Amino acid sequence: MKHAPRVLAETLKPSVMALKRVKDKSIDSAVVRQTLRQFVTDTFIKESTRKTLGDYDSFFEKGIIDSTGVLELVLFLEETFGFRVEDEEIVPDNLDSIKQLVDYVESKHQKPDPKTGTAV
């Protein structure tokens, strides 16, 4: 069953609230991974054909996400994790697996906001 990113983001709100940063500006990778895996599985993998999605499985090679799905994924990342995905960041190196997504989200939370100078 496909869910609108906004609706699913609201459903995942308790998990996302657990993403509180600690003093070193890191976030809980396990919670990020769980949140991303749930979104990808619920949004892009048909229930009748669900299988285990490994952290390193390529979304594009396995046909899990297509170009339209990338837009849904970007919207979900922005709404759920509270940062802007820049056009030049919409590349497979950032968005092609659970592992790459977790690394990307963590890197965005460590980068300072150019306007405020604080981490996202």
Q: What is the mean pLDDT of residues 52-68?
A: 92
Instruction: Tell me the two tokens of residue 38.
Output: 């749930």
Task: Specify the residue for token string 């939370």.
Answer: 109
Asked whether 77 and 19 are in contact (CB, 8 A), the reply is no
The answer as to whether 76 is a domain residue is yes
Boundaries of domain holding 105:
5-110
The answer as to whether 87 is a domain residue is yes
What is the enclosing helix (H) or strand (E) of 55?
none
In whole numbers, what is the pLDDT of the chain averaged over residues?
Answer: 80
The answer as to whether 115 is a domain residue is no
Whether residue 109 has pLDDT greater than 90: no
The answer as to whether 67 is a domain residue is yes
pTM: 0.74
Q: Look at residue 21 in the predicted model and tell me its pLDDT.
A: 40
Q: How many domains does the chain have?
A: 1
User: Domain with 48 in it: what CATH number?
Assistant: 1.10.1200.10
Q: Assign 120 to helix, strand or coil.
A: coil
Q: What is the mean pLDDT of residues 104-113?
A: 83
Asked whether 50 and 1 are in contact (CB, 8 A), the reply is no
The answer as to whether 117 is a domain residue is no
